[in-house]
A = this chain, B = another copy of it.
């Protein structure tokens, strides 16, 4: 995919992609830690640039969990919605199917195409209530 676009396949790019896939959900900093564990010296700047690139290629996506905390994950992984508790900060995953009715309604009524997997819903979890 990279070469098709005239881009280059570098060790760093492979490492970042691998790390995201392995970690499941991870912030840029967590990806950095994981990459550095194998090959020290990789700069966090490269992590940011690579994450952005991989997202353009639709290999990964990101979601805003809270306070602007970005988490990236493998794009083809089972999609899910994130339920974020504002009290204990815990994150619960939810099958995207739960949002299908809403998505359909938004598309029909408002012409808005909901990016289901990009959604984070805030509230209060069972334990905190």
Contacts and interface: CB of A to CB of B under 8 A. Distances in A.
Nearest to A103: B123
Interface in A83-111: 83, 85-86, 92, 94, 98-99, 101-102, 105-106, 110-111
Interface residues of A, number: 31
A124 B110 CA distance: 11
A75 interface: no
Contacts of A126: 110-112
B122 A118 contact: yes
Interface string A13-51: 000000000000000000000000000000000000000
Contacts of A115: 86, 122-124
B113 A123 contact: yes
23 contacts: A64-B64, A64-B66, A64-B68, A64-B122, A67-B68, A83-B106, A83-B112, A85-B112, A92-B112, A98-B106, A99-B102, A101-B102, A110-B126, A112-B121, A112-B123, A112-B125, A112-B126, A113-B129, A114-B121, A114-B122, A114-B123, A115-B122, A119-B121
Q: Which 3 residue pairs across A and B have the least CB separation, nearest first?
A: A68-B68, A111-B126, A114-B123
